[in-house]
Amino acid sequence: MEKTTTTVAAWAAPSATEPVALTTIERRAVGPKDVLIAIDYAGICHSDIHFARGEWGPISYPQVVGHEIVGVVTETGSEVSRYKVGERVGVGCMVNSCRECANCLAGQEQYCLKGNIQTFGGVDPADGTITQGGYSTHVVVTEDFVLRIPENLDYAAVAPLLCAGITVYSPLKHWNAGPGKKIAVVGMGGLGHMAVKIAHALGAEVTVLSQGLSKKEDGLRLGADHYYATGDGTVFTEKANTYDLIINTVSALIDINAYLGLLTFDGTLVSVGAPAEPLPVQAFTLFNNRRSFAGSSIGGILETQEMLDFCAQHGIVPETELISADYVNEAWERVVGSDVRYRFVIDAKTIGVTA
pLDDT in tens, 73-94: 999 999 999 999 999 999 999 9
How far apart are the C-alpha atoms of 92 and 8, rounded to whole Å?
A: 20
Per-residue model confidence as pLDDT tens for the chain (355 residues): 556 889 999 999 999 999 999 999 999 999 999 999 999 999 999 999 999 999 888 999 999 999 999 999 999 999 999 999 999 999 999 999 999 999 999 999 999 999 999 999 999 998 899 999 999 999 999 999 999 999 999 999 999 999 999 999 999 999 999 999 999 999 999 999 999 999 999 999 999 999 999 999 999 999 999 999 999 889 999 999 999 999 999 988 899 999 999 999 999 999 998 787 888 999 999 999 999 999 999 999 999 999 999 999 999 999 999 999 999 999 999 999 999 999 999 999 999 865 4
140-153 pLDDT, tens digit each: 999 999 999 999 99
Q: Where in the chain is the domain with CATH 3.40.50.720?
A: 164-295
Of the candidates 314, 288, 287, 46, the one whose C-alpha atom is nearest the C-alpha of residue 172 is 314
Of the candidates 4, 48, 42, the one whose C-alpha atom is nearest the C-alpha of residue 26 is 4
Q: Kindly report the pTM of this predicted structure.
A: 0.95
Q: Which residues contact 43 (CB under 8 A, 6 or more apart)?
A: 66, 68, 69, 134, 159, 160, 162, 163, 164, 318, 320, 343, 344, 345, 346
169-179 pLDDT, tens digit each: 999 999 999 99
Would you state the pLDDT for residue 138?
A: 97
Secondary structure (H, E, C), 27-68:
ECCCCCCEEEEEEEEEECCHHHHHHHCCCCCCCCCCECCCCC
Q: What is the largest CA-CA distance in the chain?
A: 71
Would you state the pLDDT for residue 2?
A: 56
Q: What's the fold here for domain 6-163+319-350?
A: Quinone Oxidoreductase; Chain A, domain 1 (3.90.180)
Q: Where in the chain is the domain with CATH 3.90.180.10?
A: 6-163+319-350
Q: What's the fold here for domain 164-295?
A: Rossmann fold (3.40.50)
State what percent of residues in the chain have pLDDT above 90.
Answer: 91
Q: Which residues contact 112 (CB under 8 A, 6 or more apart)?
A: 97, 98, 101, 103, 104
